[in-house]
Amino acid sequence: MARRSAAKPPGRYHHGELRRALIDAALAVIERDGVSALSLRDLARRLGVSHAAPAHHFADKAALLVEIAREGYERFGEALAVAAEAARDDDGRLAAVGRAYVDFALAHPATFRVMFGREIAEMSPPPAALAEASEKAYRVLLRGAETALAQVPPERRPPVELMAFAAWSTVHGATMLWLDGPLRCGVPEAEARARFEAGLEFLFRPAPERVR
């Protein structure tokens, strides 16, 4: 007689599996309905576990969001660092980091919204592990700005923090214009994406090439 598979009954998770399932289910809710729709009780219902089960991993909704953001910043920072290392030359490093920034946001919109959302931004102070992961990602951007400014004569060189702020604001703004929909409003998806990519290509060119 063939052995019956030892399938796990619905609603039964090993300790680490439930934690991962809660994060994945939360991201699905956020992507579809936004952060405001998230609740641990609803996640428990979706996963078929008791309403008290999520508390073994996350004390409350804020704790769950912190972990989503921390994981997000870890992966985000790695993506930016890989792009910086793969840049063809020093001149293209900041642009490569900017392109990786957009690519991560478009591939992981729910995670990105949590990372930069009000719920995380208003934590004062933020949990240490989250702050460390966020700072690590920011340092990649800062190094890209330093590299870009190395080509500027010292007497015309702005503070690196201002350069990083300008680059960050520009690329984040472009990303949110896509994610929040203004760039897609009233335009067929393929056409909107082509326009978006053309805008990014222009944005990431070295400044002298933009006016050729």
Does the structure show a pLDDT above 70 at 159?
yes
Does the structure show a pLDDT above 90 at 25?
yes
- Tell which CATH classification among 1.10.10, 1.10.287, 3.40.50, 3.30.360 matches the domain 12-59: 1.10.10
**In angstroms, what CA-CA distances link 158 with 142, 150, 151, 154, 204?**
13, 11, 12, 8, 19
Residues of the chain with CATH 1.10.10: 12-59
For the chain, what percent of residues have pLDDT higher than 70? Answer: 89
Position of tokens 């979706």?
46
**117 three-state secondary structure:** coil
Spatial contact of 68 and 47, defined as CB atoms under 8 Å apart: no
Q: What is the pTM of this model?
A: 0.87
- Distance between the two ends of the chain, CA-based, in angstroms? 76
Architecture of domain 69-205: Orthogonal Bundle (1.10)
The residues, ordered by sequence, that sit 6+ positions from 33 with a Cβ below 8 Å of its Cβ are: none
- pLDDT value for 206: 67
- pLDDT value for 90: 83
More confident residue, 212 or 211: 212
- pLDDT value for 207: 54
Does the structure show a pLDDT above 90 at 175?
yes
CA dist., res. 179 & res. 209, Å (int)? 28
The residues, ordered by sequence, that sit 6+ positions from 131 with a Cβ below 8 Å of its Cβ are: 125
